[in-house]
Chain A
């Protein structure tokens, strides 16, 4: 029998249902991997092996009673530490929330537990999901299990902000994990680690109980090692939630059942503006591979134009920090989380001391940017303008989708970079999201699937962007790529 930790969601679900192995066996195997890799990869902020076992036992008991198992029955998963989990520390990787145990469960995590999943632990991330390398976590950066093939031993970034999720998936610490994507935080880490992840249409997954970064952009989604696994998990996560006013009131389709890699009659748009000067050669090549694969799957390739692409990143870096500066105002030391109360401090002093100690430098940078762009005299020049550009970007996509069904582009402009390589230059770091951010601004479903390895032996991802609500189209194109890329590389175990 193959090692249980090599199995994906569908295989575990079916294997448990068929009695090939028990859910407890699966949970035990993953728990062991989590524990063994913790020191080297730092993918989890806390492990919850007992939760994984508890859920597995419940699934096994259900099976013994002959009851139907859920969509995720017997599948242990990693939970990004941005999702509030009842009585289990929830930190957003910030000192501000160290030790915070919510007395509530996020809608998405609750749906996953209801579907039969169990929790292996809370996954590390960039602090408040702000970052592209996991270097902003208060609990130390996550290390990618991948190494360059140059014989060097440089520690690589797993991407971010869902870097704990991507690293854990690539290292077989879990078969699936939750991610959240505000400006690429599911797709870029998936691309960096040879894993698969989808950010659904804005509003598909409830934001209730997810620590907010930028409300109009934040969207949860699944990360796994196959398109099918993502489809299964997304079905479990998605759905209308009356507790989230921006939640989509639409039925959740049966995405898994409708999966098809046949692209006959489909048009795939190639945005010319994404072919930027100085695009990494390997990235360009993988994009060409993707085009060829989709053609092979029967699709017609059309060139499209998304003329406002170059404004997407600046627009994102106005809107996201603006919302963050306000969303993070609640961390003030008054009601929960960190309180730093120097001797003789008044209320203002307490705010200042608490927030100085509780937030990391990147979070502070974004709060400052956001406060600035919203301040009197600058609001119209920045925020109002950014909202107009955001509308134009959404319009670009709407026009493009008159000509095509899905859009194919690289996920990130490069493969994983070394830890520390970008930390001194925030702008260079922000550029990582240049291909991911437009779909976020437009609220569109977008996924990253592994396309192959670059010359350094590191994974590259291809991004499929779809029409609003057309996760199926995105998943199907992803499946067509997956079937042809035949990506089977995995990091050699060094931990």
Chain B
């Protein structure tokens, strides 16, 4: 149970949240036409006769869009409806060429499913929580109006008109902004795993309508408002916080919540009224007579299921179980497609470079990736996608460490050089003479020098100031320009100091 409460002047309030997420389906062409769907194209360069709703044009469903929605449904363990149907949602707007949006009201493609958000104490999510998903239906996106192109006229760009969207409707199962944020992040992760949506919220590929109401703990549901088109996890959380406190203020002042549609202003983090229920459109939904009902056969469903990748929850469990990673590392590495893809490639290369089983080198690879590599990338302001080195190069570096050719601290230095030059680790180590010194004789000689030069400290150490051991290690390593094998240095020092 979420403990999130809004402390009003008259007592505590609970928040009830549901999200309707619009996710653009990853496909080469639109839901009912052959037009391209690429982001950022010249206005009106990806518009077919169908998208522009020319007289006599007819929609033909794109199999790939349906397939992606079905796969998404399977990924949230939802019921897949073998019989579904498209309906028309009628309203007039300049970005809606047909005068209706083809959607699915009465018989959606995907029925009841769910996903699990993970416990996060810091965020106020004490335990894993299952969030219900009521349905996923498929529908057309609208075009875009541009109001800044002409002093008195608006321009219309129909590139997006007809692009396939999945509308993923949650149950009102979330009770805090953190839970809503976690739900949206998890959903995005699943979509990206499945490959049915790229999840690029800043490009509008994913956006959420946020339904919020408040109530006294345990009481009946309050009246909800719907805040439209919020396009980041952070904004969704902000919108909920603002909207919930606004509702509490209204109620505590003796007012009533009006069921209405609201807009989120990212600048101020607040919401404002767009239209009330009274002004709501009557969409006059009815089955689209241009389209036959969508009937899916078993072979199609089997193919959809067989094509699903390992999903986030399963992967995380496997990382912890089979690979023995910490819960934290497993969570970090499975949070995104790019991350686990990099990790798994690195792991395979590392295992083969060191002639070991993946499970034997998984911790090394995971630790290095998270603590060294991400940090180094961050410093450069780069993401995994545009990493200056490949996973083969990284595996070679890890193998040098694993075989004791260089130490962990030298590895950091080598990585920096790799980033700068793009050279392979082996070449850098060779060129700059960074090979670790494991020769006992050489190390003994250095240790003797250090002990001789620091006779006073040796005396103190022998008197019981054992903390000085680190000092001797540091001095030795320094004298050896960091190349001394730390294990050997330790052993020799211990022996000499008695």
Contact = CB atoms under 8 A, between A and B. Distances in A.
A329 B56 contact: no
Contact of A330 (B99, B156, B286, B291): B99
B284 A326 contact: yes
Nearest to B89: A326
A92 B55 contact: yes
A104 B54 contact: yes
A334 interface: yes
| Chain B CB within 10 A, most for which of A210, A212, A371 | A212
A482 B71 CA distance: 58
Contacts of A325: 90, 284
Contact of A334 (B94, B285, B286, B291): B94
Interface stretch (A146-154, A170-178, A293-301, A372-380): A372-380
A323 B289 contact: yes
B94 A210 contact: no
Contact of B56 (A210, A246, A332): A210
A489 interface: no
Interface in B97-119: 97-100
Interface in A346-394: 347-348, 351, 371, 374-376, 379, 383
A314 to B, nearest CB: 17
Interface stretch (A6-14, A237-245, A405-413): A237-245
B55 A334 contact: no
Contacts of B55: 84, 90, 92, 97, 100, 102, 211-212, 330
Contacts of A21: none
Contacts of B60: 242-245
B90 A329 contact: yes
Interface residues of B, number: 31
B377 interface: no
A92 B54 CA distance: 13
A329 B290 contact: no
Nearest to A212: B56
A493 interface: no
Given A216-B289, A245-B61, A332 B92 contact: yes
A376 B282 CA distance: 6
A479 interface: no
Contacts of B156: 334-335
Contacts of A244: 58, 60
Interface of B: 49, 52-61, 88, 90, 92-94, 97-100, 154, 156, 282, 284-286, 288-292
A208 B56 contact: yes
Given A244-B58, A245-B292, A351 B92 contact: yes
A329 B100 contact: yes
Nearest to B88: A326
A379 B284 contact: yes
Given A329-B99, A375-B282, A245 B59 contact: yes
A207 interface: yes
Interface string A76-116: 00000001100000101000010010111010000000000
B54 A207 contact: no
Contact of B54 (A102, A347, A375): A102
Contacts of B56: 83-84, 102, 106, 207-212
Contacts of A335: 52-53, 97, 156
Contact of B99 (A104, A207, A209, A332): A332
A191 interface: no
Contact of A245 (B53, B54, B58, B94): B58
Given A215-B289, A334-B94, A326 B99 contact: yes
A43 interface: no
A213 to B, nearest CB: 11
A374 B284 contact: yes
Contacts of A379: 284-286
B284 A371 contact: yes
Contacts of B92: 329, 332, 348, 351
Contacts of A322: 286
